[in-house]
Structure 1
Amino acid sequence: MSDPSSSSSPPVRPASAPSASAAAERLTSLLQQVALKDRDAFSQLYQATSAKLYGTVLRILGNTSWADDVVQEAYVNIWQKASQFDAGKSSPITWMVSIARNGAIDELRRQPTARRDHDEALEEIASSAPTAGDQLSQEQNAQQLYECLDELEDNRRDMVRLAYLHGWSRADLASRFDQPVNTIKTWLHRALKQLKGCLAS
C-alpha cells in the first residue's frame, strides 16, 4: 500500500490544473463540509464560486450595489441549505447558480425598475464570467479577486471579507465600523467597483 503522505497532489488544491470533473468533486466535498457548518470550507467555496455567482446576478440586475445585496443573500442561503444539495441531480455550481439566479429574479420581480444603471464596463466584466462548465477559469478568477482585494484600503477590505466570507449583515458592519447602514452600503459599492476595475485590468 502506498504512503498517502507521498502524494504529490494535495486533495484541496492540486498542483496541476484540475479537470472539470475534479473541480466539481472538490465543490461537492466543500458543500458537504459546509452542511456541517465548516466555516473554512465555506470560505474556500466562496473563493471558488463567487466570480460565477456575481456575474450571473449582475447580468440579471444590471446594478452593482443591488447585485452585491443579492449575492450576499445567495451565500446565506447556500450556507443554510448546503445539506439539501444532491450531487445526483445537478452539479454543485449549477445548484449554487440556481440559488443566486432565483434570488436575482425574485428581486427583479419585486422592483422591476429599481437601481438599474447598466454600467457598460461592468456589464463587459460580467459577460466574461466563466461558464458553468469552466471550473478552472472560476478558480483563476477567484485568485485574481483575492489579489485585487489586497489592493483595497484595510477597512474596506475587512468590510468586504466580513460581508462575503462570513455573512455579516449591513447592520452588523454598521455596528463594527461605527457608521450608518447607508454609509456601509456606499462603501461596499465603491469597494466592489474598485475590485471590478482591478479585475478588468
Structure 2
Amino acid sequence: MPTSSASADIADLITRCSLRDRGAFRTLYNRTSAKLFGVVLRILRDRAEAEEAIQEVYVKIWQRADRFVAGQYSPISWLVAVARNHALDIVRARRPASQELDEAMEIADEGPSPETLVGASEDGQRIEACMAQLEPDRAEAVKGAYLDGYSYEELAERYAVPLNTMRTWLRRSLIKLRECLTA
C-alpha cells in the first residue's frame, strides 16, 4: 500500500504531466505501469490485448492529466479508474453488433403479460422496501453484484474493502433480504 508521501509524489507527477513534463510522465509510467497493467490484464484476460491497452491508457493519462484534482481522489485511484474504464470499453466493444432494426421488428414480443407486470411491480416494490432496510453501501453492493454484473473483486476494489469482507457483506445482505421478503 503506498504511503501518503508516495501518493503525494504520484499526485505531483500527474500535475507535472498536465504541464507536459515528459520526464514526469516517464517517471509516472515507471512507478505505476505494473499496477495498471495488472488491472487491465485482470479485465481483458489476454496479455497481448492488455499490453496494447496499457499503451492507450497512458496516452489518455497524458491527455487528461489536467482533469486530475489533487485531494479529490487518491492519485492511484484516479489512475486505476482511467485504466479500468478503458479496459471495460474494450470489453464492451467486443460484444456483437445489434441486429438491424427491420430484423428486430419481426421478433415476437415474448415479454410478460400486463397481469404479470402488475404482479412484478408489487414484487418490485417489496424488494425496494427491503433493500431500503440495508445499509446504503451494502444495498449498492448487492445491486452492483446481482443487477449490474460486477464481480466480487470489482466491488471490493470499489468499496476499498478486502475480498472476503465483500463476500460477507453480500451474503449477510441476501440473508436480510430473504428474511424481509418472507416476513
2:16 to 33, 47, 53: 33
Listed one character per residue, the Cα deviations across residues 141-162 of structure 1 (whole Å, up to 9, x for unaligned) are xxxxxxxxxxxxxxxxxxxxxx
CA deviation after TM superposition for structure 1 residue 111, in Å: 0.7
Aligned pairs for 1:96-111 within 5 A: 96-111=79-94
CA deviation after TM superposition for structure 1 residue 87, in Å: 1.6
| Structure 2: distance between partners of 1:39 and 1:76 | 12
Question: What residue is the counterpart of 2:138 in the other structure?
Answer: none
CA deviation after TM superposition for structure 1 residue 62, in Å: 0.4
| Structure 1: distance between partners of 2:21 and 2:66 | 12
1:79 to 62, 73, 76: 62
Unaligned runs of 5+ in 2: 97-152, 161-183
Q: Which has the higher contact order (CA 8 A, sep 6+)?
A: 1
Q: Which letter maps to 1:46?
A: Y
Unaligned runs of 5+ in 1: 1-17, 114-126, 134-201
| Structure 1: distance between partners of 2:2 and 2:95 | 39
Count of residue correspondences: 100
Task: State the TM-score, normalizing by the size of structure 1.
Answer: 0.46
| Larger relative helix fraction | 2
Listed one character per residue, the Cα deviations across residues 7-64 of structure 1 (whole Å, up to 9, x for unaligned) are xxxxxxxxxxx96100000001111111110101000000110011000000001001
Q: Which letter maps to 2:20?
A: K
Change (3 A) 1:65 1:19: closer
2:74 to 91, 114, 120: 91
Task: State the TM-score, normalizing by the size of structure 2.
Answer: 0.51
| Structure 1: distance between partners of 2:62 and 2:34 | 17
Aligned pairs for 1:10-159 within 5 A: 20-112=3-95
- List 4+ stretches of structure 1 deviating above 4 A: none
| Structure 2: distance between partners of 1:88 and 1:74 | 22
| Structure 2: distance between partners of 1:82 and 1:102 | 15
Q: Which letter maps to 1:72?
A: Q
| Structure 1: distance between partners of 2:67 and 2:47 | 29
Aligned residue for 2:69, secondary structure, equals coil
CA deviation after TM superposition for structure 1 residue 112, in Å: 4.3
| Structure 1: distance between partners of 2:21 and 2:51 | 23
Listed one character per residue, the Cα deviations across residues 47-90 of structure 1 (whole Å, up to 9, x for unaligned) are 11001100000000100111111111110000011111012221
Question: What residue is the counterpart of 1:176 in the other structure?
Answer: none
| Structure 1: distance between partners of 2:66 and 2:92 | 28
How high is the sequence identity, in percent, across the aligned residues?
Answer: 44
| Structure 2: distance between partners of 1:67 and 1:19 | 24
| Structure 2: distance between partners of 1:65 and 1:22 | 33
